[in-house]
């Protein structure tokens, strides 16, 4: 076994026992035209850990998630997934890394020409060719049952509510058993009961699958429920990072203001 | 610098930038199209969507063209004492030019708008991002399949348009002056060779490339919500129609040179 293989094996073992981050963002900067969105963000997430990224609207939370999954490239800084810098990868190389990631979009982004079943089966259709059709169908059924949508196979996305679309989106994100789960405002636009149901679902899935997760949200209650650590962004920087108690003890004016209004 | 010159400079710059972005997009599609895994299922779906579903419209347009040609050509040729050349005039007009160009323009309207709107709608609702995040190459799944389907279907649709045009050309002539289909075909195709038929039919593959490429490009770079979707659909039709006509100018000249 050569040196590179040894390093990769050691890294994998460290990630498995939770000692090394699965996902790191190192001093990342991102601008769109003259607008600076992220000004030196550094974060890391280990296996089994959930980091909630909070902040006001427009502070770059969703941009951060898009950088982590490679939909945007940073102007400077590094994004590492399992130790590999993803910024310079070609689309097909990035695809290999994305197979280990699940992403729930803010509005679920279901394929509106496909049924619920076909949406959840989409990653399996493309990446699990070794699975037979009955095996894929069984896996889709299992995923929809996990998110409480087992009765809605044949429905189209336009036939189900926003909350149900998010559940289907979550099932689709889990189809390839990812190591990393990224959730963009999972409870945005939902009523309090549906939001609580999504929180409970995410927490249950986290405990079962032990993924490294980043949840972008402006809902502090949701963040407290599902996250181990919280990071609060303001003007493109991380103002504070820690558990909820540490945030409560903070003397920073912005943090106190944010907590007061949440 | 005067506002007019400044504005012209801006337009030229925008135009060149658009072409540059189109070239980069085309390169990404080619790279995706020639590397596995290949999206055969989606390709077959698009062949049906673009081919079979455009057939009625193309056939109708071809038929109407045949009628108009027959009426107009009869009038013109009779004035110059060349009425006996009417079948040949109809046949050569249809298979050389009107069949291919009418097919190209009809398909650019129907398919160009459809592809542009569909992909634009997917773009603004993050469905294309979702495809990419699912580790599926959207250039391969969405663009390459549609472009290839357009390239393959245009010649076949042109055949349909040609057939309907010639058939209705005969019907129109027969209504005025009884002539059997057999006589019409013999008179029309006497002196014709495959060089008169194949190059104009296969030039529609270039039309298909233009329609598919422009529509996919405009759709996949859309921004701006519902208004952006509308702009993408409109610009797909306008630009693909324009480039089909311009390409026809070049292709006709090349056909004359290489297939005299």
ipTM of this predicted structure: 0.89
- State the DSSP H helix or E strand holding residue A101, giving kind and residue range, or none if neither: strand A101-104
Query: A39 Cβ partners below 8 Å, 6+ apart?
Result: A29, A235, A236, A237
Is residue A148 assigned to a domain?
yes
**Structure tokens, A237:** 């920087």
Is residue A15 assigned to a domain?
no
Integer Cα distance of A169 and B44 in angstroms: 27
Is residue A216 assigned to a domain?
yes
Q: Which residues pair with A24 in a beta bridge?
A: A44, A80
Is residue A24 assigned to a domain?
no
CB contact under 8 A, A98 and B129: no
Query: Digits of tens for pLDDT over chain A (262 positions)?
Result: 445 455 556 556 655 665 688 999 999 999 998 889 999 999 999 998 999 999 888 888 999 999 999 999 999 999 999 989 998 888 888 999 999 999 999 999 999 999 999 999 999 999 999 999 999 999 999 999 988 888 888 999 999 998 899 999 999 999 999 999 999 999 888 888 888 888 888 888 888 888 899 999 988 888 988 898 999 998 889 998 998 888 888 888 888 888 887 7
B245-255 per-position pLDDT tens digit: 999 999 999 99
CB contact under 8 A, A92 and B136: no
- Which residues 26-85 of chain B have a CB within 8 Å of chain A? 28, 32, 35, 37
Contacts B146 to A, Cβ<8 Å = none
Is residue A137 assigned to a domain?
yes
pLDDT for position A2: 46
Contacts B121 to A, Cβ<8 Å = 112
Residue B132 has pLDDT above 70, yes or no: yes
Is residue A27 assigned to a domain?
no
| B165 close to B65: Cβ distance less than 8 angstroms | yes
| A104 close to A173: Cβ distance less than 8 angstroms | yes
Structure pTM? 0.89
CATH number for A108: 3.40.50.300
- State the DSSP H helix or E strand holding residue A32, giving kind and residue range, or none if neither: strand A21-32
Integer Cα distance of A262 and B16 in angstroms: 49
pLDDT for position A5: 58
Q: For residue A40, what are the CA distances in angstroms to A58, A184, B220, B241?
A: 16, 20, 31, 47
Pick A71's closest partner by Cβ from B121, B132, B136: B132
Q: Which residue has the higher pLDDT, A153 or B27?
A: B27
Contacts A103 to B, Cβ<8 Å = 130, 133
Pairing of strands A180-184, A21-32: unpaired
**Taking Cα atoms as reference points, which of B158, B65, B64 lies closest to residue B107?**
B158
Integer Cα distance of B220 and B118 in angstroms: 9
CB contact under 8 A, A127 and B135: yes
pLDDT for position A1: 43
Q: What are phi and psi of A215, to 5 degrees?
A: -115, 120
pLDDT for position A7: 53
Residue A199 sits in which domain range?
47-61+90-261
* Count of CB pairs separated by less than 8 Å, A with B: 55
CB contact under 8 A, B136 and A95: yes
For residue A235, give how far its alpha carbon lies from the nearest alpha carbon of chain B (Å). 25
Interface test with A, best of B135, B138, B140, B220 (most A CBs within 10 A): B135
Q: How many domains does chain A contain in total?
A: 1
Is residue A212 assigned to a domain?
yes
Is residue A149 assigned to a domain?
yes
Integer Cα distance of A146 and A204 in angstroms: 9
CB contact under 8 A, B137 and A95: yes
- The SS3 call for residue B212 is helix
Beta strands in A164-262 (DSSP E): 180-184, 212-216, 229-234, 237-242
Pick A69's closest partner by Cβ from B35, B127, B133: B133
**How confident is the model over B202-208, as a mean pLDDT?**
96
Residue B233 has pLDDT above 70, yes or no: yes
Q: Is B5 on the interface with A (CB under 8 A)?
A: no
């Amino acid at each position: 076994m050569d040196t590179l293989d040894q390093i990769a094996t050691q890294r994998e073992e460290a990630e498995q026992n939770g000692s090394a981050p699965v996902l790191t963002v190192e001093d990342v900067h991102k601008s769109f035209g003259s607008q600076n969105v992220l000004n030196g963000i550094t974060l890391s997430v280990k296996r089994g850990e959930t980091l909630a990224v909070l902040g006001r609207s427009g502070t770059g939370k969703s941009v951060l998630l898009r950088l982590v999954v490679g939909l945007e490239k940073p102007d400077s800084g590094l994004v590492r997934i399992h130790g590999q810098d993803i910024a310079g990868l070609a689309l097909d190389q990035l695809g290999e890394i994305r197979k280990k990631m699940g992403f729930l979009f803010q509005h679920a982004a279901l394929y509106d020409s496909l049924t619920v079943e076909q949406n959840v089966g989409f990653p399996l259709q493309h990446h699990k060719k070794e699975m037979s059709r009955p095996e894929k169908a069984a896996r889709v059924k299992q995923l929809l049952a996990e998110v409480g949508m087992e009765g809605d196979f044949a429905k189209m996305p336009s036939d189900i509510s926003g909350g149900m679309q998010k559940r289907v989106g979550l099932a689709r994100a889990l189809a390839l058993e990812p190591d990393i789960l990224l959730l963009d405002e999972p409870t945005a636009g939902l009523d309090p009961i549906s939001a609580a149901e999504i929180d409970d679902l995410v927490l249950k899935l986290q405990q079962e699958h032990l993924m490294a997760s980043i949840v972008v949200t402006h809902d502090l209650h949701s963040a407290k429920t599902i996250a181990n650590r919280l990071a609060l962004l303001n003007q493109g920087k991380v103002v504070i990072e820690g558990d909820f108690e540490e945030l409560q003890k903070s003397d920073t004016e912005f943090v106190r203001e944010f907590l007061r209004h949440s | 610098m005067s506002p007019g010159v400044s504005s012209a400079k801006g337009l030229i710059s925008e135009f060149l930038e658009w072409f540059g972005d189109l070239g980069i997009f085309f390169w990404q599609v080619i790279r995706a199209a020639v590397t596995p895994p290949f999206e055969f299922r989606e390709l077959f779906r698009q062949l049906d969507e673009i081919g079979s579903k455009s057939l009625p419209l193309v056939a109708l347009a071809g038929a109407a063209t045949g009628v108009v040609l027959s009426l107009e050509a009869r009038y013109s040729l009779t004035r110059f004492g060349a009425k006996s050349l009417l079948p040949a005039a109809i046949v050569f007009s249809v298979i050389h030019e009107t069949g291919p160009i009418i097919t190209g323009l009809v398909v650019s309207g129907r398919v160009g708008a459809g592809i542009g709107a569909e992909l634009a709608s997917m773009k603004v609702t993050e469905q294309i991002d979702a495809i990419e995040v699912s580790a599926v190459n959207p250039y391969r799944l969405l663009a390459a399949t549609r472009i290839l389907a357009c390239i393959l279907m245009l010649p076949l649709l042109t055949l349909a348009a040609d057939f309907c045009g010639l058939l209705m050309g005969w019907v129109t002539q027969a209504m005025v002056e009884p002539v059997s289909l057999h006589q019409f075909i013999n008179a029309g195709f006497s002196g014709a060779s495959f060089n008169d038929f194949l190059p104009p039919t296969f030039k529609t593959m270039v039309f298909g490339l233009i329609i598919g490429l422009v529509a996919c490009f405009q759709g996949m770079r859309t921004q701006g919500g519902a208004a952006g979707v509308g702009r993408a659909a409109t610009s797909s039709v306008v630009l693909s129609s324009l480039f089909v006509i311009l390409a026809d100018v070049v292709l006709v000249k090349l056909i004359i040179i290489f297939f005299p």
